[in-house]
Structure 1
Amino acid sequence: MWMLSLCLVWIYGMRSSLGQVGSPWHTGAENDYYYEQLHPDDDLPVITTDEQQFAINLGELLVIPCPVHNLGDFTLVWRRGNQILWVLQDRGEGPFIQAVSRDPRINRNGTSLIINGVLPDDESIYTCEISTSPPRSVSHTLKVKVIVAVPPTVYPANNRTTMMIKMGGTAYLRCVVTGNPMPKVTWTKEGLAQPLGEGVNLTLTNARAEDNGIYTCTADNGAGDPVHASINLQVMHPPEVMADKIEVYSGVSYDATLACFVNATPRPQVKWYRENGSPVDPLRLKVAYDTRNKKHSLQFDRVQKGDFGYYTCNASNFMGNSSALVRLTGRPKPVRFSSPKLGDKDTRYTLVWEVESYSPVLAYNIAYRNETDSNEKWVNFTVPGTTSSSMYHSKEHTFTELEPGASYYVQISARNEFGSSDINETFAFTTVDPVGTDPPDDLLHEEEVIPNTDQYQDVVSEVGGVIESQAPPLPEVDIVTAQSPVISPTDNLTEMEEIFQEIFKGNEIPPAEKASVSDSTSETFSLTPREKRAQMVALVTAISLSSFFF
């Protein structure tokens, strides 16, 4: 049968070349009725679609229909004009198709013709024909529309470049676009990187203050550059007020600026008030507004003592009002520490700090405790303040009688005539750990044997808060009769102890009195071995110096 189909195609081609137009199944002979004799009308195939006209855009896909009922063993041919595109015959083991056209765009879907990507040359009459006698067929006409590219245009619907709604409402944004092909529309918001959506419409429900801004619709169809249109959405809401700084530090005769940020729609009315509710003096103080940052400020050229206190930045519109509290103060700023975390001594540590204060610092309140001892309580004391020609002050204090290798916490606040600074930092330091060994003798002589009387006048008692005015008194010794031994700096403490015992030989306290003294003073004047040695060395040194001058 397939040989017969090929022969029929060849015959049709020959007839076409001779200028004869018609069905490939028509021979012109008088016996063309034999198909009707072999196949009654009820058994013949039927094409179940009417002729149609198609107007297709250039480049689109087209399906030309030719549904057939009861094709049987008849052959179906698709042709464009007089050109055969393909031949189909249904066999018992499956359909057989003979593609005649070499155009890769030509395909089929059952008995329908497919053209993938229509071209201008595809304009023609397409015929679906079945090999009955006479042949049964249907013809369709194709018109190819050549697209003329038109650059896009876009503008807001109703030319509304500004839209205002109440907070909680719904905003309907819409752009009108034109162009050929139809442009693609994308929505964005100023300040946001991600697109909000596509299409000519954008809907925002339950609008909030954060939805305020410029919304832009962009249209692009590849014909020319993309075009844009913007809509300014204003969501009406009560003012939101936030202080730039809740506390501003200054001093008498210095300048100062209080500021607050206000966000409100519509634009609010902003006023400054004193803490008692009275308005600020508009003749002496300057009120300014920064449109870009929505920042309102109150400026003092020369602060007076009576200016210190609290101020209110109040904003109001017809949606509501709000305010923020700002304090103008002359007290010191928080203390900043500049000491290293690790000290260089085992029982002493020098703490250094600085503070910014427009007025002289009257005193520093210091509190410290041993961090390694959980039961240790804070020890509080006060040291004198500092005066400075500028607003920057520095001070140091040496802690004594600390535990070796221990960590301590310190808090300091500065006080001037306007109040005390906040404590916003707890400083921690650690003393040197001697690993259980005594410091060298030369260090002991240098730091412990010869006390500095000036130091005792400045150091405040860390336990009772009492200022010690002098060093502890030495025992009375007959410096005339006592012979002063010559002690080398390298002599050890044992030799000093022997000399001390020799000096006090014969002047010992009776056992009864010694017991009485011991009982009454053991709790108050209990000394460590190191302190006892220090006293011995101090005594011997004093005797040596006395013998030298007398």
Structure 2
Amino acid sequence: MWKYYQIFQVGILIQIPGFTGLGVNKSSLQVREESPWIETQSTNYRMEQGGTAVLNCNVRNLGSMIKVWRNGTRVIYVGDIKIRNDPRIYLNTTSLIIQGVTVWDSGWYYCELENDIDNPVTLKHNLQVTEPPAIEDEDERQLTSISGSTISLSCRAAGHPAPNITWSKEGKRSEILGHGPELTLTQIGRLDAGRYKCSASNGVGNPVTKTIHLTVLYFPEIFPSVNKVHGSVGHSVNISCEVWGNPKPDLDWIKTSQHLNFQTSTLQTETGAYLSVLHVFVYNETYLGNYNCTAQNRFGQISKSVLIRGNPDPPQVLSKDVADRKNSYTLIWKSEPQQNISLYQIMNRKLPDGSVVYAWDIVDYPVKENYKEDQHALEITKLESDSAYVTIVKAYNRYGWSDPSQEFIFYTRGKDMVVESPIKEESNMLSSGLIHAQTKLLYIMYIILLLTQ
């Protein structure tokens, strides 16, 4: 049995066979050198491009063994002999030094102790050289495409680690449209036009961005402000339409195939649309009818109509949505002036409850001749308490009925509100004042009586 003892830390081992205690067989004493070993621990080095990498490899008891440095399978140094011809790389006492590192220097570096043994002592370091992201051709690009087509936006970026590329569009907050070097848009239209931004980041330095401005050419689109509007003889009315198109369309107003000489005005809105307004003076009833807003560019022509008619506009309900009483409700509404309304029709019913749909109660409300007010009121009675009702109002003149007003929902109370009469309140205040005056007068008379005694 062999036992080993290290003597005075000088790298010599005494091998003593048959050691049983203090007795030593000097004739069998043998001396061996201590095996070499590497003190340094494996390390992951991370640094930005252009820095200096110092890869440590501190060896104890190298003896006759040879230290070898290699990068992957490529040998750099054998002992003090430099194999790789790179002026940036050199040795100091314990370390391999690489100046001005680039991303190509990234990888595994091995410090090995070589001898005749098949299994050398090895230390490995991982060097990762980082590079901030950079986008090829960072200048803003201009792209033009036709509506209905497919287009790909490209954004190439370099860096180490490889950058992550995301796409967004101005006006869409925090919405990520895609990832990667390309963003493909299919069946593009008007709403796809705008400024797209690609952003590249890899955790090194600050993200970098590039903007691509996409212009879409498309057929005109028209959106009338209203489909129909009231017109009174002897008064003017304005009608308008919002027009989109690229290239900018030519705008016109047509009635019964004739181009109109009425005053028009066109302006471009903040959204990019063109707003065309036609000012019509209704001299007589022949000026009533359909007016067509037309728009034309090189992709085609489109037209949308606006009807000027003598029928009234739908009334507008003004009353509050909670009744003061449990079984009645005061409905208040108004109409636009100069519509010569002779009759209103009020329709109301209890709000449907599940599958139960209630019938409409219809009340005709004639307008007295020479009534000049535009606001009207009607007391609706025989209602159920603590219930919801819906009401609709229509107006009539000699041209016919208006469209129905928007449905208006109101609620009856569970019990009547107690409303103090303002006359009674004033009477109470007056009575209180008289009593106070009488009391004051009696007090003065009492003082006078005391003084005269």
State TM-score, norm by structure 1: 0.47
- Residue 310 of structure 1 pairs with residue 290 of structure 2: yes
2:44 paired residue number: none
**Counterpart-to-counterpart distance in 1, 2:401 and 2:377:** 18
Match of 2:168 in 1: 188
Change (3 A) 1:263 1:126: farther
Tell me the number of residue pairs that the alignment of Structure 1 and Structure 2 aligns. 337
Matched, 1:384 2:370: no
Deviation, structure 1 residue 124: 6.8
* 1:447 aligned residue: none
**Are 1:164 and 2:175 counterparts?**
no
Change (3 A) 1:142 1:354: closer
- Pairing 1:480-499 to 2, within 5 Å after superposition: none
Aligned equivalent of 1:126: 112
Which of 296, 299, 323 is equivalent to 2:275?
296
Confirm or deny: 8 A CA contact 1:405 1:430 kept in the other structure: no
Instruction: Find out whether 1:197 has 2:178 as its counterpart.
Output: yes
**Counterpart of 2:267 in structure 1: which amino acid?**
A
Kindly state the Cα deviation for residue 325 of structure 1 after the two structures are TM-superposed: 2.4
Hey, which of these two has a bigger chunk of strand by percent? Answer: 2
Q: Contact 1:362–1:386 (CA<8 Å) still a contact in 2?
A: no
| Amino acid of the structure 1 residue aligned with 2:137 | Y
2:253 is aligned with 1:272: yes
Show the 5 A alignment for 1:508-523.
none
The answer on 1:216 being equivalent to 2:197 is yes
Letter matched to residue 185 of structure 1: I
Which stretches in structure 1 are left out of the alignment for 5+ residues? 25-50, 55-62, 66-79, 83-118, 435-550
Q: Confirm or deny: 8 A CA contact 1:360 1:386 kept in the other structure.
A: no
Which letter does structure 2 place at the counterpart of 1:155?
A: D
* Shift in alpha-carbon separation, 1:417–1:176, aligned structure 2, 3 A: same
Shift of 1:281: 1.6
In structure 2, relative to structure 1, the CA distance for the partners of 1:168 and 1:12 (3 Å cut) is same
Identity %: 21
Structure 1 residue 217 displacement after superposition: 1.2
Partner SS, residue 292 of structure 1: coil
Q: Does 1:232 align with 2:228?
A: no
Question: 1:245·1:326 contact (CA, 8 Å) conserved in 2?
Answer: yes
Q: CA 1:217–1:255 in structure 2 vs 1: closer, same or farther (change >3 Å)?
A: farther
Compute the displacement of 1:322 (Å): 3.0
Q: Check the 8 A contact 2:130/2:204 in 1, yes or no.
A: no
Once the 2 structures are TM-superposed, how far is the Cα of residue 229 of structure 1 from its aligned partner?
Answer: 1.4
| Distance of 1:9 and 1:268 partners within structure 2 | 96
- After TM superposition, give the deviation of residue 208 of structure 1 in Å: 4.4
Q: Summarize deviations over 1:123-148 as a string: whole Å, max 9, x none.
A: 775246564xxxx4779999997848
One-letter amino acid of the counterpart of residue 315, structure 1: A
State the secondary structure of the residue aligned to 1:245. coil
Distance 1:316 1:291, change over 3 A: farther
Take 2:342 and 2:378, find their aligned partners in 1: how far apart are those partners?
13
Q: 1:319 aligns with which of 288, 292, 299?
A: 299
Decide whether aligned partners of structure 1 residues 126 and 265 sit closer, same or farther in structure 2, where only a CA change above 3 A counts: farther
Partner of 2:224: 243
2:34 equivalent to 1:10:
yes
- Bigger Rg over Cα: 1
Q: Is the 8 A contact 1:355 1:414 kept in 2?
A: no
* d(CA) in 2 for partners of 1:286, 1:18: 96
Please tell me the root mean square deviation across aligned C-alpha atoms, in Å: 5.5
8 Å CA contact 1:386–1:395 kept in 2: the answer is no
- CA, structure 1 residues 267+340, in 2 after alignment: closer, same or farther (shift >3 Å)? closer
Corresponding letter in the other structure for 2:65: G
2:308 is aligned to 328
Q: Which amino acid aligns with 1:195?
A: I
Residues in 1 aligned to 2:188 and 2:134: alpha-carbon distance in whole angstroms: 31
Kept in 1: contact 2:133–2:160 (CA 8 A): yes
Q: Which has the higher contact order (CA 8 A, sep 6+)?
A: 2
Contact 1:189 1:214 in 2 (8 A): yes
Distance 1:22 1:343 in 2: 105
Higher helix residue share: 1
Change (3 A) 1:403 1:288: closer
Q: Deviations over 1:204-254 (max 9, x none)?
A: 344444433321112334554333211122344433322222234565676
How much does 1:359 deviate?
0.8
Q: TM-score, normalised by structure 2?
A: 0.55
1:361 matched residue in structure 2: 340
Q: Which residue of 1 aligns with 2:154?
A: 174
Kindly tell me: are residues 203 and 352 of structure 1, through their superposed partners in 2, closer, same or farther at Cα, counting changes over 3 Å? closer
Q: Give the AA of the match of 2:149.
A: G
